[in-house]
Structure 1
Amino acid sequence: YWLSDLPAHTKLKTLVRLAKMRWRIEHDYRELKTGLGLSHFEGRSFTGWHRHVTLVTAAHLFITRLRLKNPKAAGAA
């Protein structure tokens, strides 16, 4: 079941698309943590943390753009 506060006239297709966005967000966050090292920062300064998160985000953008540009090669090693 899904609870929503969207208007009653919202189309079913829109509701399904919005519900599936949660899976995409969770998948991206897991990829950021496990594959790209988001959770590996052990520093103590905000500046260091900010640089780490910025680099991880840039790497995620790069990987995502590669995946979108050539979807057949996404699973290739």
Structure 2
Amino acid sequence: MSVDAGPSRVDAEYAIEYLQEHPEAGLCCEDRRWWITPNANETDRQVLLLDGIEAERLKDNPRLRLVSGIAHRARSLWIVRRMT
């Protein structure tokens, strides 16, 4: 029987690569907890976890932008900017 170990803890470099390869994904923060969700429209799911220092580095990356007005008031969401 296989046991799901849950989301992996990653660093900012790995997380930005994941976000760029999965444009539907997003970086979430709530109550000092940070995670990558596979779908920015469903922020409850967690595929990767980040500690606070790595998450702060990631959220300040110029490739990401903060999304305003998401459904969870206490939650913040960043997604990859669309480059044209």
TM-score computed with the length of structure 1 as normaliser? 0.23
Return the structure number with greater relative CO, CA threshold 8 A, min gap 6: 2
Instruction: Report the structure, 1 or 2, having the larger helix content.
Output: 1
Instruction: Report the structure, 1 or 2, having the larger strand content.
Output: 2
